[in-house]
């Protein structure tokens, strides 16, 4: 046996596993080491903590409150929209001191105007009650947006009636020039109300008071109120209304002058021809793609068509053709690029031609 040779045989293997085998066994139970200078994915995650109370509030409570508010608002408007034709339900809602009353007033005005409003229109007690609600709101002196809306829609509701009891509260509001918005709503409502009264074979108990209130409104510094007053004076008629309309044809505002001229034509007053000629002389506007120019073109067409209809009213009232300058302009309008203007001009010329053949 050489000195450098390890012994072999049973004794050399019976002592236990070799060193290599022991190392592998140890490696099976030791944790794996990460590469130098690097972290595992688990080491990079933030520590898991229970949610805080503030987080839970933001996650559940705040959205829940928002949803509850939306549902509440929807239910309120849904309820107001379905009050139906029950006048007592409307009155109870209108007398509540709540922000949603203006919506009830609007719905009430719409119901009066609708096909089922005939019975309500002739209810004098109901008109008196609505007028009382309007007077009470004015007496409170509130000027916020909700109050202004409420007063405006109450005026509109009163205008839809067909009984004289609706007149006094509107006259009071039309004469109050400290609240121009409500005054304009009352003046416009008086035009509707007086038309309804005329159709019902009735009228205001004090027609002079109505005319005086509207004439006073037509002298306001507010041009929108003057324009509405000019229209209403044409509905009211009478010598005082006609005299004021002649004066309004010299107003600085185009809208006021044009309303005054068409109102005079409705009353059969040929003093309207000069201003009607001005209205007919408006040329078509080259409307671009922007909303402003399209709106201006639409307004021009509306003014011209209204002037043509007003001339037709005068032809019917007087039985004579319009002045030569006006008639010449009407002839030109038969070639207008706007179809409504062209049709109205053609209809007017046909009416004038029938005068000569009759």
- Kindly state whether residue 315 falls inside one of the protein's structural domains: yes
Res 180 pLDDT > 70 = yes
- Kindly state whether residue 224 falls inside one of the protein's structural domains: no
Share of the chain above pLDDT 90, in %: 65
- Kindly state whether residue 155 falls inside one of the protein's structural domains: yes
Res 2 pLDDT > 90 = no
CA–CA separation, 187 and 182 (whole Å): 9
Query: Which residues form the domain of 195?
Result: 64-205
- Kindly state whether residue 46 falls inside one of the protein's structural domains: no
- Kindly state whether residue 26 falls inside one of the protein's structural domains: no
- Kindly state whether residue 239 falls inside one of the protein's structural domains: no
Do 76 and 182 share a domain, yes or no? Answer: yes
pLDDT of the residue at 55: 56
pLDDT, tens digit (0-9, with 9 covering 90-100), for 21-69? 444 444 444 444 445 455 555 555 556 566 566 655 565 566 666 776 6
Compute the residue count for the chain. Answer: 358
Do 187 and 68 share a domain, yes or no? Answer: yes
- Kindly state whether residue 333 falls inside one of the protein's structural domains: yes
Domain boundary among 205, 221, 239: 205
- Kindly state whether residue 288 falls inside one of the protein's structural domains: yes
CB-based burial, 282-300: b 16+ in 10 Å, e otherwise: beebeeeeeeeeeeebeeb
Average pLDDT over residues 246-261: 98
Distances (CA, A) of 1 to 4, 5, 7, 8, 12: 9, 7, 9, 11, 15
């Amino acid at each position: 046996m050489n000195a450098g040779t390890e012994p072999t045989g049973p004794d050399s293997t019976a002592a236990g596993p070799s060193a290599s085998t022991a190392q592998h066994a140890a490696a099976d139970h030791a944790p794996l080491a990460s590469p130098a200078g690097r972290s595992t994915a688990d080491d990079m995650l933030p520590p898991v903590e229970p949610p805080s109370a503030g987080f839970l509030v933001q996650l559940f409570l705040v959205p829940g409150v928002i949803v509850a508010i939306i549902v509440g608002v929807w239910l309120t408007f849904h309820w107001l929209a379905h009050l139906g034709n029950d006048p007592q339900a409307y009155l109870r809602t209108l007398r509540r001191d709540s922000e949603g009353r203006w919506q009830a007033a609007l719905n009430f005005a719409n119901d009066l105007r609708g096909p089922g409003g005939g019975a309500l229109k002739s209810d004098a007690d109901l008109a008196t009650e609505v007028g009382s609600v309007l007077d009470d709101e004015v007496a409170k002196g509130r000027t916020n947006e909700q109050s202004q809306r409420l007063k405006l829609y109450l005026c509109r509701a009163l205008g839809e009636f067909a009984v004289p009891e609706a007149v006094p509260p509107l006259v009071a509001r039309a004469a109050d020039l400290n609240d121009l918005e409500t005054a304009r709503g009352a003046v416009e409502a008086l035009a509707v109300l007086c038309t309804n009264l005329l159709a019902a074979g009735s009228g205001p108990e004090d027609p002079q008071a109505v005319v005086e209130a509207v004439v006073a409104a037509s002298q306001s510094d507010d041009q929108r109120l003057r324009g509405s007053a000019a229209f209403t004076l044409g509905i009211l008629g009478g010598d005082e209304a006609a005299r004021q309309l002649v004066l309004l044809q010299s107003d600085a505002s185009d809208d006021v002058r044009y309303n005054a001229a068409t109102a005079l034509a409705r009353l059969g007053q040929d003093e309207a021809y000069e201003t009607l000629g001005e209205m007919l002389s408006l040329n078509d506007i080259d409307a671009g793609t922007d909303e402003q120019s399209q709106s201006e073109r639409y307004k021009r067409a509306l003014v011209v068509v209204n002037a043509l209809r007003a001339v037709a009213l005068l032809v019917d009232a007087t039985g004579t053709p319009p002045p030569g300058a006006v008639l010449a302009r009407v002839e030109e309008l038969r070639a207008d690029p706007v179809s409504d203007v062209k049709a109205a001009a053609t209809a007017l010329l046909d009416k004038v031609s029938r005068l000569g053949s009759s």
